[in-house]
Structure formats: C-alpha cells, structure tokens
Chain A
Amino acid sequence: MRTFKIGGVHPRDNKQFSAHQPIVECPLPKQAIIPLVQHIGAPTQPVVEVGAKVKVGQLLAKAGGFVSANICSPVSGTVTKIGDWTDAWGAPGQAIFIDVEGDEWIPEIDRTPDLVHQCTLDSKAIIDKIAAAGIVGLGGACFPTHVKLLPPPGKKADVLIVNGVECEPYLTCDHQLMLEHGEEIIIGTQILMKALNVQRAIIGIENNKKDAIAHMKHLAQSKLGIEIQPLKLKYPQGGEKQLIDACIGRQVPSGALPIEVGAVVDNVATIYAIYEAVQKNKPLISRVMTITGKELAKPGNYLVRFGTPIEEVIAFAGGVPENTGKIIGGGPMMGRAMDHTEDMPANKRLSGLLFMPEAESVRPEPENCIRCGKCVSACPMGLEPYLLSRLSELEMWDELEKHSIMDCIDCGCCVFTCPAHRRLLDDIRPGKAKVGGILRERAAAAAAEKK
C-alpha cells in the first residue's frame, strides 16, 4: 500500500471515541460571534453596520484582498456590535456580534436534501461561486480555496488530489462526512475537476477507515477519472506535500507550491463545501466538528454553525469533563491548547475540540539530547530537528537557512518521537519565523532594486 517516503510516525489514533457517530446538528446560539479573520491572508472588511438585520447566507464581510475569503452570516438576527474581541489563545482581533432571531435564510439557498448532479457552469463561474461562498481549506490550513484554483501563469494542474486522510489522532469528522455525504463529495470532485480542467482525481484515504474506502470506491465506480487510493497509516500523511508524494509519487520541491508538480490538493470537507456552494448556492456557514476526549460524555461529530460559542457546543456534547487539563482546538499533533473557552466561537479554522485529562496534559521535563537521531528519522521533510533546535537557540540564522528550516511543516513528529522529551519545536518555530522575516526582507530589497 502506498504512503509517503520520508519519515513519519505512528501515534495511537484514538478515533474510537467519536468514529461512526452520526453527524448531529448543534442547536443555534442566542448570540453569534463572527471573527473577521477566519483564514490565512488579509482580514475581511465588514459590509454591515450595527443595527442591521441579517439573514443566513447574507454577506457580512468581504474579502480584504486577493488572498482573503468572504464571510457570510451563519445566523439570522440583528448586528449588535462590530469591534474588539479576544480569541481563546488571548490574541486580539475584530468580530461581528449578532443577536440571533429565528433562522431565516436568504431565498437563493436550496435547503432541500435533494442531490444536484448536473453542473453546467464553466470553470470561471465555478471559481467565482467558490470565492463568493467564502470557502477556505477546512483541513486545517484555511487557505482561501479559490486562490488555489487560479494557478500562476505558465502553470497547469493535471491532477486533483482529494484529502480524505484525516491523519490527526482523535479527529473523525472527515471520516463521517465521507460516510454520510460521499455522493456530494464525488459530485464536488467532478465540479472541481471541471474548474481545474483536469481529467484525473485521486481521493486518498488512510487504511484505518476501511468502510469509507469501500463506500467511496462504490460511489466512484462509474465516475470517469476518479480513483480511490487507500493509504498506509502514517502521520503526517494529510500534509499537502506528503499526500502528493503518497498518491502520485511526485515530490514538491523546497519552497514551491503543489502546482509546481501539477497537483492541487483539497480536503473532503472543503469539497463538500464546494458542492454546497456551487450546486445549492449555500455559502460556507457551518462545518462538521469532532468533539472528543477520553472522558467526554457524548463524543461525536457535530454540525456546528459558525459563530456558535464553543461553550454551547461543549455543553451540547456533555460539558467539560471534570479533570480536564487541556482543551485543544484541532488534533493532538498540531492543534492549539486553549487558555479559556469564553467568547470563543466555532469558525472555519476549528476542526474539532479535544479534551485531554490532566494526567496527559503536562509535558515531561526535557533531558539531555542523547543524539539518537530518532528526530532525523521521523522528520517527513528530511530535516535535522535536533540541529535546527540548537541553531535556533544560538540564533544562527544563516546556518538555519542553509539547513532548510523553512521546509519545516510544524507537524510535531520530532517532538513526538524524542525519547529525551526535548521541546524541539519550541525553538524551531521562532527560528523559522525569524528566518522567514529575513527572507521576505531580502526579497523586498531585491524587488526594490529591480525597479
């Protein structure tokens, strides 16, 4: 069975808590909080004013640049405040606050459950619809999807890769989405193939989801050009570069985008959102979240409207378990541990909530590096994490650049595998930020000189 070639680790997948739990809709909140940044790129510009009445699906804030994504209202009601707000990690931002009244949708949205197979739009019209719907990559990166679909001049995709890997332990939302909405995902894939003008699509699914592989294979049977590729279980297979390597054996060069090797990658949840946007005129206003944990009362997969305070989502899933030490937004490998839950809404960026018992939440004290080289073997990018960490500590930026620190994808394999419990990424992350800044400055200076 195929997988990516360099490095990788095998964390216990712990998906049993929420796997195969049917998607349940979370009730609407009384007040919705809509952050103005829910993607990578420029912040959005609000197009509503305080006091305005809004309906579900109506544009609230428009993209603030080329790399940015619209935000449409996930609820109906009255805008009560547009202003400062702080996220669960303490970072300041801006948000639109809406008092929810009823559940009134704009009439353009097709709310029936009927499948719409036919798509007569051309490539440009599809991409415009995706942009209007504010769709971003729901696999975790939150990169605006329409930007990915407009390759730079001279570049052309020849294959679409659909990410159904869900390699993060605990998370099961993509798995359940494939089981319940496989047909929509197949149609969404066809739409995207049309938008990209490619004849081939590969849906990569890890082998711990055998039922999803069988189900998707069955659905894709008569669909020309769509293949289902089962993949050997290995983290971080859901990483864009790793997935391309695993599915078609092409390695994206350092610093380049997937389009360089003719591939575009989108997550199954993103594909589902594309189906809804193009076929049902429904913008991205909700997502399936995995709410899970060893001691959570009702772990499962919940369809949550954006803006719903996560406290309400948590209450719906049985409340915060008693001895919770950490609440992680996302999975345990790359998710971020929240400081608090107050005022934090569900949004495009939040794929799940994981409750870790206190005993598992405290990091063991680091010991001396024993130079075992396990971090080097584990690194899926072929880097030397022990060295990058040391060079970052010593602030040797030139050396860091030479040792390809910018290739680091933050996957956490090195820290996961280190027998001395060294916190390699704690040093590598700031080093990467610093070197990234130096590189941008250098590029800007070079560009200025050209002019």
Chain B
Amino acid sequence: MAHFITAPAPHTHSGDSVRRNMLLVILALLPAYVVSVIEFGWGALITAAISICACVATEWLISRYLLKEKRQTIGDLSAVLTGLLLAFNLPSSLDWWIVLIGAVVAIGVGKMTFGGLGQNPFNPALVGRVFLLISFPAQMTTWPVPQGFATKYIDAETGATPLYYLKHIVDAGDGSVINQLPDLMNAFLGVMGGSLGEVCALALIIGGLFLICTGVITWHIPVSIIATVALFAACTGWAGMLPEGLDTCHYVAYELLTGGLMLGAFFMATDYVTSPMTAWGKIIFGIGIGVIVMVIRTWGNYPEGMSFAILIMNACVPLLNKIRPTRFGEKKK
C-alpha cells in the first residue's frame, strides 16, 4: 500500500518568511544609507561594517557556544538588520571600539539574554545605542559636519545638530540662533549634521512607504507617531512658546524632519518583536512615542528623545497586547 505525506491543513503557504521580512527592511534602509555614505564618506562605511559584523558574530558565538543551539539563526538576517540599525543611530565618526561595544550589548544583552529573536522586550539596536549614550555621552553627542568623503573619520570637524539649536530656541526662548538651522529643503534632503542614517527624511520616507506597500509594516505606528509629534509641535506654537522669527509651520517641519524621528517612526518603532500586534495597540503605541519624544525634546535634558521614547513604549507592549482585536460579530447585534 502506497503511503503519502499526511499533515494537518493548510497545505499551502503565503511564501512569507522571517528572512524575507528582514531582507525587505534592509532593502528599505538602503536609500538612506546611500545618502549617509555620500554625506559622511568612510565613516558611514566603517561604522556600519563594524556594527553589522559584530552583531552577527555576537549572535553566532552566543548561540553556538553559550546556548549550544543546534540550529543557528544568523541566516534569518535579523542580526544583520540590528547591526545596520545600530549604525544608523550612531555618529559616523564614533571610535570603532565604541561601535563594537554597542553591537555586543545590542545583541548580547538586548536580544540573546532573553532567548533570541522574538523573545526580547526591547529593541536591541536601541538598547545598544542607549547603553553607549549613557556610557560615552561626549562621543555619542559629537556629530561630524557632513563633507562627503572629505569628512575625516578621526578628528572630524564637528558641529551641533539642528535639534540642539531647536531646543535652545524653544526651551531658552533664545531666537538668536534661528539662523543656525538648516533651511527646510536641506533638512528634508538631509544636508545637516546628525547620526549616520537619520539625516535624510526623504530617503527614510521612501523606504518606509516601500515597507508599507510590500506589507512588511502597517501604517498605524509611523502615522500615529508623526501625527502626534506634528500636533504636539503645533500646540507649542499656538501656545506662544516660540520666539520671534520662528513660525509654527516651520517649527513643526523642523521637529518632523530633524533628529531620529523618521528613522524611529518607520524603522525602529515598527520592529515586530517589540511593538503591539493589534491595530489599536499600534496606534496607542505610536501616540505614546510621539508624546514622550516631544516632552523630552521640549523639556528634557537631551535634545533628542526618540530612543528613550521607543524603549519606554516597548516596555508597555505586553500591556498593549491585552487590547483585543474586534471579534467577528462583536459590534453588530
């Protein structure tokens, strides 16, 4: 009697895989990465290379020798993505050994401690970044002025970021540095100082839309973050907190286009593992991030608060996952 393969239904699959999703996110990051290579030259290449290699190596070593897993997971590309995202969140002139420490912390502490992919409560790349920000505050807040391949990797000419000026303007009510802000078009295209991958809003938006169109992420998180930040900034303007020379529209645009907002909204906050599963959960998650980042930017000690905002909301995810999706037949009786 001939026997055939038996297995429970369904017998077909969408063809989606963890690896495919990771690969698409990496692809979506490429436009922004190209811009940062153009702007920061060798620093962008070296930092990303160290970060990615260190992340993959850390995962493999821990999985192979500490956890003694038979099946290795580096092939799913999630470590590559974490490495790339960590690099995106670092100044391109950061010393190589600091990058290395960041990568080891990101994967080692941020991910493998909890049991690897899918188990970590916090975004690993941000765990790495915030660890570095607290441990090396000076190096982490010194950004090179973009000069293409003329940008020196060591001893680069540095400058403050637009967010630093913006905070100074709003918090201290000092309008004298308004002329230090880049013009809006430059901010949109990314001709300004900042972390390696965060500068070009245009490239990040293109990548983000690509992810939404390919079904990798949904619109809920990025849209709710961006809308919340815009509304918060607009309220600041309407409340008369802006000094002479900076109107509400420009201020809203600066808040949206500078710092890690676009990178965070499209790529960091949407990390599957550390974001809620239901539509409403995602929207509340996004609103939470938007509010926290604006509170930190306006009144906090740091000019930028995207990493903190996302990590704090990561901690709320188990709670947000208690929000049930609308069951079939629930609304109508």
- A residues contacting B by CB (< 8 A) are 6, 9, 11-12, 89, 169, 241, 245, 250-254, 256, 320, 324-328, 332-342, 354, 356, 358, 360-365, 367-374, 376-377, 379-384, 386, 403-404, 407, 410, 412, 415-421, 423, 425-426, 429
Do A332 and B10 form a contact, CB below 8 Å, given A340-B2, A370-B273? yes
A3 CA to B9 CA, complexed, in Å: 24
Q: Which residue of B lies closest to A89 (CB)?
A: B6
Binds A, one of B27-35, B125-133, B138-146, B324-332: B324-332
Within 8 A of A (CB), among B140-168: none
* Residues A334 and B328 in contact, CB atoms below 8 Å apart: no
Other than A370-B21, A382-B324, A416-B10, give 14 A-B pairs with Cβ distance below 8 A: A251-B330, A251-B331, A252-B328, A325-B5, A338-B4, A340-B2, A342-B1, A361-B11, A367-B18, A367-B76, A382-B325, A410-B9, A416-B12, A420-B17
Q: Which of A89, A416, A423, A425 has the most CB of B within 10 A?
A: A416
Q: How many cross-chain pairs have Cβ atoms below 8 Å apart between A and B? A: 165
* Residues B18 and A334 in contact, CB atoms below 8 Å apart: no
Q: Which of B73, B76, B328 has the most CB of A within 10 A?
A: B328
22 contacts between A and B (CB under 8 A): A12-B12, A325-B5, A326-B6, A327-B4, A333-B9, A333-B11, A337-B7, A339-B3, A340-B1, A340-B2, A362-B5, A371-B118, A371-B273, A373-B277, A376-B277, A382-B324, A384-B277, A384-B324, A415-B13, A419-B20, A421-B13, A421-B17
A244 CA to B207 CA, complexed, in Å: 39
- Residue B116 at the chain A interface, CB threshold 8 Å: yes
A181 CA to B220 CA, complexed, in Å: 47
- Residue B117 at the chain A interface, CB threshold 8 Å: yes
* Residues B14 and A426 in contact, CB atoms below 8 Å apart: no
Contact of A369 among B21, B118, B326 (CB under 8 A): B118
A404 CA to B329 CA, complexed, in Å: 12
Q: How far is the CB of B320 from chain A (nearest CB, A)?
A: 11
- Give the chain A neighbours of B5 by CB distance below 8 A: 325-326, 337, 358, 361-362
* Residues B118 and A254 in contact, CB atoms below 8 Å apart: no
* Residues B4 and A324 in contact, CB atoms below 8 Å apart: yes
* Residues A373 and B276 in contact, CB atoms below 8 Å apart: yes
* Residues A6 and B328 in contact, CB atoms below 8 Å apart: yes
* Residues A417 and B328 in contact, CB atoms below 8 Å apart: no
Q: Which residue of B lies closest to A170 (CB)?
A: B12
Nearest first, the 8 A-B pairs at minimum CB distance are A373-B277, A412-B10, A368-B118, A372-B272, A251-B329, A382-B327, A332-B12, A419-B16
* Residues B76 and A333 in contact, CB atoms below 8 Å apart: no
Q: How far is the CB of B284 from chain A (nearest CB, A)?
A: 14
* Residues B329 and A241 in contact, CB atoms below 8 Å apart: yes
- Give the chain B neighbours of A252 by CB distance below 8 A: 328-329
- Give the chain B neighbours of A245 by CB distance below 8 A: 328
Q: How far is the CB of A17 from chain B (nearest CB, A)?
A: 14
Tell me the dominant secondary structure on chain B's binding face: loop
Contact of A425 among B8, B119, B218, B327 (CB under 8 A): B8
Q: Which residue of A lies closest to B218 (CB)?
A: A377
* Residues A404 and B4 in contact, CB atoms below 8 Å apart: no
Within 8 A of A (CB), among B270-286: 272-273, 276-279
- Residue B68 at the chain A interface, CB threshold 8 Å: no
A374 CA to B20 CA, complexed, in Å: 14
- Give the chain A neighbours of B328 by CB distance below 8 A: 6, 241, 245, 251-252, 254, 380-382, 407
A403 CA to B2 CA, complexed, in Å: 42
Q: How far is the CB of B21 from chain A (nearest CB, A)?
A: 6
- Give the chain B neighbours of A418 by CB distance below 8 A: 16
* Residues A356 and B116 in contact, CB atoms below 8 Å apart: no
- Give the chain B neighbours of A336 by CB distance below 8 A: 9
Contact of B119 among A254, A354, A358, A368 (CB under 8 A): A368
Q: How far is the CB of B120 from chain A (nearest CB, A)?
A: 10
Q: Which residue of A lies closest to B274 (CB)?
A: A371
* Residues B18 and A370 in contact, CB atoms below 8 Å apart: yes
- Give the chain B neighbours of A383 by CB distance below 8 A: 325, 327
A370 CA to B278 CA, complexed, in Å: 14
- Give the chain A neighbours of B4 by CB distance below 8 A: 324-327, 337-340, 361
- Give the chain A neighbours of B218 by CB distance below 8 A: 377
- Give the chain B neighbours of A404 by CB distance below 8 A: 327
* Residues B272 and A370 in contact, CB atoms below 8 Å apart: yes
A380 CA to B5 CA, complexed, in Å: 28
Q: How far is the CB of B152 from chain A (nearest CB, A)?
A: 40
Q: Which of A89, A325, A376 has the most CB of B within 10 A?
A: A376
* Residues A419 and B21 in contact, CB atoms below 8 Å apart: yes
Q: Which residue of B lies closest to A362 (CB)?
A: B5
* Residues A426 and B8 in contact, CB atoms below 8 Å apart: yes
* Residues B327 and A429 in contact, CB atoms below 8 Å apart: no
- Give the chain B neighbours of A376 by CB distance below 8 A: 277-278, 325
Do A370 and B14 form a contact, CB below 8 Å, given A335-B9, A382-B330? no
Contact of B272 among A241, A341, A371 (CB under 8 A): A371
Q: How far is the CB of A417 from chain B (nearest CB, A)?
A: 5
- Give the chain A neighbours of B327 by CB distance below 8 A: 254, 381-383, 404, 407
- Give the chain A neighbours of B330 by CB distance below 8 A: 251, 254, 382
A422 CA to B229 CA, complexed, in Å: 37
* Residues B10 and A334 in contact, CB atoms below 8 Å apart: yes
Q: Which residue of B lies closest to A10 (CB)?
A: B14
Q: Which of A336, A342, A373, A379 has the most CB of B within 10 A?
A: A373
Q: How far is the CB of B24 from chain A (nearest CB, A)?
A: 11
* Residues A11 and B277 in contact, CB atoms below 8 Å apart: no
A151 CA to B32 CA, complexed, in Å: 63
* Residues A373 and B11 in contact, CB atoms below 8 Å apart: no
Q: Which residue of B lies closest to A423 (CB)?
A: B8
A419 CA to B71 CA, complexed, in Å: 18
Do A337 and B76 form a contact, CB below 8 Å, given A372-B272, A373-B278, A376-B278? no
A417 CA to B17 CA, complexed, in Å: 9
Q: How far is the CB of A360 from chain B (nearest CB, A)?
A: 8
* Residues B6 and A6 in contact, CB atoms below 8 Å apart: no
Q: Which residue of A lies closest to B326 (CB)?
A: A382
- Give the chain B neighbours of A380 by CB distance below 8 A: 328
Contact of B9 among A339, A370, A373, A412 (CB under 8 A): A412
A365 CA to B16 CA, complexed, in Å: 13
* Residues B332 and A250 in contact, CB atoms below 8 Å apart: yes
Q: Which residue of A lies closest to B19 (CB)?
A: A419
Encode B251-280 as 1/0 by CB contact (under 8 A) with A: 000000000000000000000110011110
Contact of A339 among B6, B14, B116, B119 (CB under 8 A): B6
- Give the chain A neighbours of B3 by CB distance below 8 A: 339-340
Q: How far is the CB of B189 from chain A (nearest CB, A)?
A: 32
A334 CA to B10 CA, complexed, in Å: 6
Q: Which of B11, B20, B279, B326 has the most CB of A within 10 A?
A: B11
- Give the chain B neighbours of A12 by CB distance below 8 A: 12
A89 CA to B277 CA, complexed, in Å: 37
